[in-house]
Structure 1
């Protein structure tokens, strides 16, 4: 029997690294952020709705969404954030279900992970069999995020403060992967949880 597992964690927690490790172990990963990017390609239905609401000012010269510009708007206005989520979330959920069904058709015993930063906030955790939260201390979050080079320390700290608190996320977790140690320790933790999940779907 296939299992659908939600994988989540705050900015800089190492969620993407964990998703890659799970894939290497034989799990399937559906990346919610990647689905979002596909759904907002120019002239797609979601793209049209977003442009209609937010205006042409959020577009790059090639008509793709300027995610940084859109992020600035929704990051500082919870009402606008809700509008964006109401456009994207139902479509993302639908596409996740479609892809899960496709995977299960080919591999009935699959372990399928939905890699989603907003798994809990969006309510999508209700649709999965298990929830895995990747967690680490604040210092590690900041250092990991700085390495990516996209955001300043101030911006990272502001995002951490505006995201759902880690301890609140942990309350929803069936499994917690702590990522404060080195890479080999993380690999051991991931492998251990993967084996536990595999034992559930026999």
Structure 2
């Protein structure tokens, strides 16, 4: 199995592309979904957020007031780092668990949907290819204003909190241009999935990691023999 990273800028259409990939039968590990799950009431990250940010970022129901917390962390880089320090360990732990399950199922490849793929740089070295979903700057801002009902100042702050989109495109192996129609985007996604399915990289990985596994098992067996048969 091999891993493919999917990222983009806020409101460039990454989630739309991710849904298309799922519709084509490719397993997707969604970091945004995981990020919402690990802060559900009572969980470790939820408790730590209450401890660090206080009761004012929580609703009466006990759930996190996302707009309020977002306004705080996107206006203060140190508080954003504090939030990332709380949530990222749990997010990446869950990602590893889901990837391992897909490996055991014998999947050819898995797409990791990671909004901060390049910013965090925690999984880049494990990825076979990276895909960036891009669009025109003006369209990105327009989509964000329409989607979240932000003021222009709030929307710009969220865009600027991420790595510049042109820099992400420079780092990417594959770019999906999402400034056009849904049909145009889907055609690009279909071509990329076809290309990935034609790859034999998963065979190399199985041979390589399978070989390591056999070596480790052999070493353990020899050690046990040496201990108990002396």
Structure 2: gaps (5+ residues): 203-230
1:34-183 matches, within 5 Å, as 34-106=33-105, 108-124=106-122, 125-183=124-182
Q: Would the alpha carbon gap of residues 126 and 115 (structure 1) be closer, same or farther in structure 2, given more than 3 Å must change?
A: same
**Structure 1 contact 89–122 (Cα < 8 Å) conserved:** no
SS of residue paired to 2:104: helix
Instruction: Considering Cα pairs closer than 8 Å and 6+ residues apart, tell me whether 1 or 2 has the greater RCO.
Output: 1
RMSD: 1.6
**Structure 1 contact 7–15 (Cα < 8 Å) conserved:** yes
* Number of residue pairs matched by the alignment: 200
Which residue matches 1:24?
23
SS of residue paired to 1:103: helix
Question: What is the TM-score with the length of structure 2 in the denominator?
Answer: 0.81
**Structure 1 contact 19–29 (Cα < 8 Å) conserved:** yes
Give the Cα–Cα distance (whole angstroms) in 2 for the partners of residues 62 and 101 of structure 1: 34
**Structure 1 contact 59–66 (Cα < 8 Å) conserved:** yes
Larger Rg: 2
Structure 1: gaps (5+ residues): none
Which residue matches 1:7?
6
After superposing on structure 2, the runs of 4+ consecutive aligned residues of structure 1 that deviate more than 3 Å are none
**Structure 2 contact 141–156 (Cα < 8 Å) conserved:** yes
**Structure 1 contact 132–176 (Cα < 8 Å) conserved:** yes
Question: What is the TM-score with the length of structure 1 in the denominator?
Answer: 0.92
* Structure holding more helix per residue: 2
Give the Cα–Cα distance (whole angstroms) in 2 for the partners of residues 189 and 111 of structure 1: 18
**Structure 1 contact 27–110 (Cα < 8 Å) conserved:** no
Q: Shift of the alpha carbon at 1:176?
A: 0.7
Which residue matches 1:185?
184
**Structure 2 contact 7–113 (Cα < 8 Å) conserved:** yes
Q: Which moved more, 1:54-63 or 1:144-153?
A: 144-153
**Structure 2 contact 75–157 (Cα < 8 Å) conserved:** no
Give the Cα–Cα distance (whole angstroms) in 2 for the partners of residues 24 and 57 of structure 1: 39
Q: Shift of the alpha carbon at 1:97?
A: 0.8
